[in-house]
Structure 1
Amino acid sequence: MVQRNAIKKHILKFLWVYFCLAGPSLLAQVRIDVEILSPVLDANKPLFIALDYNNWNPGDPAYVLTKVKENNYYIVLDDAPPSFEYKFTQGSWILVEGTPSGEGLPNRSFDINSAKTKLVQAKILGWEKQVAYDIIVDNIPENTPKDAEIYISGNFNNWEASNADYKLKRNIQGQFTTRIYSDLQKLEFKFTRGSWESVEARESGKARPNRIIKRSSDINNKAIIVTIEGWEDLMGTLHVYSLFDFLLLFAVFQGMLLVIAIPLIQNANIEANRWLILSIIISSLSIFLYLISNFQTFVNRFPGIVILHDFVYFVYAPVFYFYLIKLLYNVQFLPSKWYLHFVPFLIQFFVYLPFLMQNDKRFLLDLMEQKLILTYIFGGAGIFGLLWNVYYWYLFRKTIVAYKLEFQTNLSYEQNLNYLNSVSVIQFVVLCFWAFSIIAILVGHYFDIDNIRLFENSVDLTWFAFSTITYFVGYFAIHQSETFKAQPQKISIFDDLLETSVNLNQKPSQNDLESTKREVEKLEKYMAEHSPYKNPKVSLSELASQLQIPAHLLSKIINDHYHQNFFDFINHYRIEEFKKMVVDPKNHNLTFLGLAYEVGFNSKTAFNRSFKKITNQTPREYLDGIKIE
C-alpha cells in the first residue's frame, strides 16, 4: 500500500513539472490588435476572425472583434492552440480581407514557439474585390403591412427567407435598399417578408419566377431598381391573370359536372363514354393541379404539386385515343398490347417518384436553385411529352379520316361528328402553344434573352386551350346518338395486325362480267322503281338485303362500275331527283331545304356539300342557270 502511494506521488510530480514546462506551449492566451487601412466593405457589419480551429466560420459571434476606435479593433483568444491559421472577415467569405488591389491573400498564421510575444499586431491593407449589386425596391404593394420587414433571399445566401444580414433598409426617399456581394455569374433571388408563405408574387397573387441578374463587366455598384408587384399571402384585386384562373377553375367544375351527367343522361356509345369520362377526369385534375401550383401557399405545403400536372403529358392522349376507337369502330376489346400506350407514363412516374418522396424543404430549395438535374428531367419530359402528343394527334386525324372513308362506303348520310374535327383543331392549337413555349425557353436560355414573361403567357395559353376541349367533347357527348361502328383498322404502331384479303389482281372471267352486268341492271332498275335513296338512313347492308345480294358484292359493283363509294352513289341519285323536282311546278311551294329533305338528305350542310361535289355548282348557282335558260 505504501509502495502504491509512493508511485502516485511520483506520477503527480512528473505531471506538475510537465505542465509547468509544456503547458504554455499547449494552450495560450493570444491578443490580436487590428488596424484597418482600407475602408470596410460594409460599414454596418462588424469585424470577425475566422480560424482553422473554429472550422473557418466567417461569422462566428464568439470571434467578433471589439472596436477600440475608428479603424482599430482587437480580440483576445483564450485557450488558443500553440499554432493556428486565420483571416479577417465581415461575417462572410464574400467580405474577406485581401490585397490593396483586391486580390486574395494567403491565410495568416501564428506559432507560439516562434513568436516573441503573445501580442499580434495585424493590418488589413485591403479587401478581396467582389461584385457588388445595389438592389433598390422603389415600390411595394399598397396592402403591405406598415411594420413589414422585407428580406432578399437567393442563391447567394442558400435561399434563407429571413437572414438578418439580407434585410432591406429604408432610405430617406422611402425606398428599400440593400447591397449584395457575390462572385456568382448569375444571381437568382426573390423578396420575402420573413417566410416563404409571404414571398413576393405577381400583381394578382400568382407565383412569379425567380428574379435573375446576370453578371456583366459594368454591373459592379450599379443600382438595380425593381418593383414588388404583390405578395402571395395578400391577394390583390381581380386582374387578367386571376380572371384567367377563374376560367380554368370553371373548366374544372364543368368537367366534374360532365363526369356525373354523361352516364346519367346518355345511353348511347356507353363503352366509348367510359373512356371519355376517364379523359375528362384526367384533364380536369391536371388543370386543377396546374392552377394551384401557381400559388406558393399550396407549394409550401406540398412542393411536389408543381410537377404532378406533368403526368398529363403521357396519359391523356392514349385515353382519348381509346375513346375514339370505341366510339367509331366495332371493337369489343382493346388491342392485346394496349399497355404499351402507357409505358412512357410509367417511366415518367418512376423518374418523378424520388422527387415526390423527397423532403419537402429540400425539394423546394432545389426548385428555387433550379438544379441542373431538375432542368434536364422536367424539361426533357416537356419535350418528349410534346413529341408523344404530336404522334397521337396524328393518330386522331388518321382515325377520323379512316372512319369517314369507311362510313361513306356503308352509309348514305353524314355522321354528326364535326365536333371531333373541332376538337382536333383545338388540340393542334394546344400543340402549337406547347411547342412555342419550349422554343421560347430554349431561345431565352441559349441567347441570354429575358423572355420569362413570354414563356409564362404561352404556358398559360396552352392550358387554357387545353381546358376548352372539355366544353366541346362533353356537350356533344351528351347529345350524340349511337354512331355507326366501322370495321376496326390498324391505326397505332401498338395495335394488333389485322387480317386483310389478298388482292391477286386476277382478270375477271367472261361469266363474272356477265354476272356483274346483270347485277348492275338489277341495281339500276331497283333504284329507278323503288327510289331507296329517299330513305335518309339507307345503308349498304340494307340495300343489299333488298336486292338479295351480298353487301360486299354490292360494294364491289358500286366501286368498280360507277367508280364511287356508296355515299356518293346514293347522293348522286338524290341530286338527280332534286333536279327533276326543282323544275316541277308542283314543287314550287317547297324551299331548297324542303326539296333536299324530300330526296333523302338529312341536313342542309350534307345537301350543299354533296351538290357542290357532284355538279361543281352550288344549288343557287344551278337554279340561276335554269332561270337564264
Structure 2
Amino acid sequence: MSQRLRIFLFIIISSIFNTVQGQVTFVIESLPNTTPEEDSIFICGSFNNWNTHDEHYLLHPQLNGNYSITLPADTGTIQFKFLRGGNWMKVETSERNEYLPNRVFTYGNGKTVYVKISNWQDLGGVKHFNYLILFLFAAAFYGLALLFLVYRIQKCNRSKFITFLISNIILLIALLGSVMYNITSLIWQSHIAMLGYVLFFTWGPTLFIYIGTLRLHKLPKKIFIHYSPTLFIALFAILRYINFKPLMFLSKEINLHLTLGSTIVLLLGIGVNIYYHIRTIKYLQLGQRANDDKRPIEVQLINIIFITSISALLLLCLNILFLTAELSWVVQVKFEIVLIILSFIIFAEFFYYWKFPEILRDRLVQHPINDASNLITQLTELMQVSKPFKNPELNIAELSDLLNTKPHILSKMINEHYNKNFRDFINEYRVKEFIAMSISEEYKNYTFLALAHEVGFNSKSTFNLVFKKNTGLSPRDYMKQKFNIIKDK
C-alpha cells in the first residue's frame, strides 16, 4: 500500500472518530405520568436558535421505550430545554410546576447524557383519572379471593388445581399490569407493554390446557411445547429492553399508536391465539359426543370460559384493526375493555367453584345403576370418599347427578332404605364427620363452630339442633362425655 493511501485512510478514520467522539446523545429515562402518549417531544436550544418545532431535533423512542436524540459534534457550551409538541406552553418545569433554568452541556468526549423530566407547564401534574382501572383493580382483588377459595377445597384434582392456578395468576398479572400501566409514566408504560406481549402469547395455550384438564381430568401431553412461542417473545422483550442494535428498525412508527415491532408482535399473537382457540373447540365437542358425561355444571363453566375468551379475542382483533386504521373515535388504545371482558372468567369461576367445588375434585368412577342395591353401594362410596355433604348448598338434584340417576329415584331409595328424608340423611353424615374431625389431631385447634362449617352446616343454630337430634346431647356435652374434649364454641 502506498504512503499516500495510508495517509489518506488515516485522515478519514481520524475524522470519523473525532466526529463520533464529539457527538452527544440525550436519553430521557423518566417522564411525568401526565405525559400524553400522542405528544411528540422536542429539544431546542442555542444550537438551533431555540426553534421549538425543528423536525431535526425531534426525539424518537428507543426499543426499550426511552426517548433519545443524538446531537452532532460541536465545541463549547450549549443551553437547551425539552418541550412537547413544539409549543412553549408545554415546556418542562420542576416537580412543583415552577420555572426551570436552561439546561447546560459542555462538549468534550462523546458521551450519553441521561435526563429526567419532572413536570410539564401546561399539565401541572394533573392527570385524567381512568375509572375503568377501578374495576380492573376490583377484579384483581376478587381473583386473589378466588385463589384462597380454591386452595381450601379439599381433595382437589392436582392437575385441575395446577392449571387453574397458572391461568388465574396470568390473568391477575394482566389485570394488575393494566392498573400499573394507567398510573405510571410513558417510559414505564413501554416496559409494562413488553410484559403484556409475553402474557398475550400465554393466553391461547393456557386456555387450551385449562379447559382440556377440566374435561379430561388430567394434564394434556407435552404442555411445555405449547409455550414455545411465549419463550420466543420473552427473548424478544429482553432484547428490546436492552436496546439490541440490530432490532432498532422495529421502533419505526407506523402511526400514532403502533410501531413496526408492536404490529408484528400483535399479529403473531393473534395468530397463535386463534390457533389455540380453534384447538380448544375439540374439548367442547368432547362433552357432546361422550355419552357418559353426566357433569352438566362442569360443562356450563367450560362453555362460559370459552365464550368469554373468544369474545375478548374478537374484540381485540377489531381494536387492533381500528388502531391500524387510526379510527380514534372507536379505538381502545390500552385494551382495558378486553381485560374487563376476561375478568368475567374470574367471577364465573368464583360462583361455580364456591357452589360446586366437586368440579375441581377427582371424578368418581361410575357404573350403570341396575337396581337399588347398586345405588346404595355407590351412594355409600360417594358419601365416604368424595364427601359431597360438605357443600352447604347440596341438594337432591346435585347428588343424583353425581350418581348418574334421577332425583326422584334417589329420594325414594333414601326414604325406603334409610327411613329418612334427604335432609336428615345428609345431616347424619355431617354429624358423623364432625365427630371424626373433632377427635382428629389435625383439627384439634378448631372450635366447634369452625368444624361445623367445615362439614357443611351454615349456621350455629341449625348445627346444634341437628346434633342433638342425632345424638340426644348438645355438641359440648357429647364431646365431653364421650371423648373428654372441651372446646370453646
Q: Are 1:287 and 2:169 counterparts?
A: no
Task: Describe the SS at the equivalent of 1:417.
Answer: helix
Letter in 1 for 2:225: L
Aligned to 1:323: 210
Q: What is the correspondence of 1:420-459 to structure 2 with a 5 Å cutoff?
A: 420-444=302-326, 451-452=327-328, 454-456=330-332, 459=335
Superposed displacement of residue 286, structure 1: 2.0
Q: What is the correspondence of 1:30-69 to structure 2 with a 5 Å cutoff?
A: none
Distance 2:79 2:349 in 1: 52
Task: Describe the SS at the equivalent of 1:442.
Answer: helix
CA RMSD of aligned residues (A): 5.3
TM-score, structure 1 normalization? 0.40
Task: Describe the SS at the equivalent of 1:281.
Answer: helix
Q: Are 1:463 and 2:339 counterparts?
A: yes
The number of equivalent residue pairs is 310
Deviations 1:300-352 (A, max 9, x none): 56852331121112223322322222222144x541x3222111111111122
Aligned to 1:311: 198
Superposed displacement of residue 470, structure 1: 1.7
Q: Which of the numbers 211, 217, 234 marks the counterpart of 1:349?
A: 234
Distance 2:137 2:321 in 1: 28
**How has the CA–CA distance of structure 1 residues 354 and 413 changed in structure 2, closer, same or farther, with 3 Å as cutoff?**
closer
Q: Are 1:379 and 2:263 counterparts?
A: yes
Distance 1:390 1:55 in 2: 51
Distance 2:196 2:338 in 1: 13
Distance 2:252 2:69 in 1: 8
Q: Are 1:401 and 2:274 counterparts?
A: no
Q: Are 1:250 and 2:106 counterparts?
A: no
Deviations 1:391-422 (A, max 9, x none): 2222333212212321xx12567445323222
The 8 Å contact of residues 311 and 345 in structure 1, kept in 2 or not, is answered as: yes
Letter in 1 for 2:332: E
Structure 1 runs of 4+ aligned residues shifted over 6 Å read: 365-369, 484-487, 544-547
Superposed displacement of residue 443, structure 1: 1.8
**How has the CA–CA distance of structure 1 residues 166 and 431 changed in structure 2, closer, same or farther, with 3 Å as cutoff?**
closer
Task: Describe the SS at the equivalent of 1:91.
Answer: helix
The 8 Å contact of residues 287 and 463 in structure 1, kept in 2 or not, is answered as: yes
Distance 1:92 1:163 in 2: 10
Q: Are 1:473 and 2:357 counterparts?
A: no
Deviations 1:516-550 (A, max 9, x none): xxxxxxxxxxxxxxxxxxxxx99663349999xxx
Letter in 1 for 2:336: D
Superposed displacement of residue 199, structure 1: 5.2
Deviations 1:265-308 (A, max 9, x none): 354444312211111111111221232123444x5568523311
Superposed displacement of residue 387, structure 1: 1.9
Aligned to 1:340: 225
Superposed displacement of residue 442, structure 1: 1.9
Higher strand share: 1
The 8 Å contact of residues 279 and 320 in structure 1, kept in 2 or not, is answered as: yes
Superposed displacement of residue 246, structure 1: 1.0
Distance 1:368 1:341 in 2: 28
Q: What is the correspondence of 1:507-546 to structure 2 with a 5 Å cutoff?
A: 541-543=368-370
Q: Which runs of 5+ in 2 are unaligned?
A: 1-15, 21-44, 62-66, 71-77, 95-114, 375-400, 410-489
Identity of aligned residues (%): 14
Deviations 1:84-127 (A, max 9, x none): xxxxx9833998xxxxxxxxxxxxxxxxxxxxxxxxxxxxxxxx
Task: Describe the SS at the equivalent of 1:282.
Answer: helix
Superposed displacement of residue 235, structure 1: 4.3
Distance 1:574 1:251 in 2: 37
Aligned to 1:493: none
Deviations 1:196-239 (A, max 9, x none): 55456xxxxxxxxxxxxxxxxxxxxxxxxxx96x45x4445xx5
**How has the CA–CA distance of structure 1 residues 538 and 354 changed in structure 2, closer, same or farther, with 3 Å as cutoff?**
closer
**How has the CA–CA distance of structure 1 residues 480 and 424 changed in structure 2, closer, same or farther, with 3 Å as cutoff?**
same
The 8 Å contact of residues 426 and 469 in structure 1, kept in 2 or not, is answered as: yes
Aligned to 2:93: 193
Q: Which runs of 5+ in 1 are unaligned?
A: 1-51, 57-88, 96-131, 135-151, 169-175, 180-189, 201-226, 445-450, 488-536, 548-566, 578-629
Higher helix share: 2
**How has the CA–CA distance of structure 1 residues 55 and 159 changed in structure 2, closer, same or farther, with 3 Å as cutoff?**
closer
Q: What is the correspondence of 1:175-254 to structure 2 with a 5 Å cutoff?
A: 178=88, 192-193=92-93, 197-198=117-118, 230=123, 233-235=125-127, 239=129, 241=130, 243-254=131-142
Letter in 2 for 1:478: W
Q: Which of the numbers 147, 158, 162 marks the counterpart of 1:259?
A: 147
Superposed displacement of residue 430, structure 1: 0.6
Superposed displacement of residue 155, structure 1: 4.9
The 8 Å contact of residues 155 and 361 in structure 2, kept in 1 or not, is answered as: no
The 8 Å contact of residues 318 and 392 in structure 1, kept in 2 or not, is answered as: yes
Superposed displacement of residue 441, structure 1: 2.0
Q: Which of the numbers 27, 43, 48 marks the counterpart of 1:92?
A: 48
Superposed displacement of residue 435, structure 1: 0.4
Distance 1:191 1:435 in 2: 37
Distance 2:242 2:365 in 1: 60
Aligned to 2:358: 482
Letter in 2 for 1:379: T
Distance 2:334 2:187 in 1: 25
Task: Describe the SS at the equivalent of 1:456.
Answer: coil
The 8 Å contact of residues 436 and 458 in structure 1, kept in 2 or not, is answered as: no
**How has the CA–CA distance of structure 1 residues 259 and 357 changed in structure 2, closer, same or farther, with 3 Å as cutoff?**
farther
Deviations 1:146-178 (A, max 9, x none): xxxxxx974599569x9746669xxxxxxx954
Deviations 1:47-98 (A, max 9, x none): xxxxx9x979xxxxxxxxxxxxxxxxxxxxxxxxxxxxxxxx9833998xxx
Letter in 2 for 1:463: L
Distance 1:437 1:412 in 2: 39
The 8 Å contact of residues 93 and 119 in structure 2, kept in 1 or not, is answered as: yes
Distance 2:407 2:144 in 1: 44
Task: Describe the SS at the equivalent of 1:400.
Answer: helix
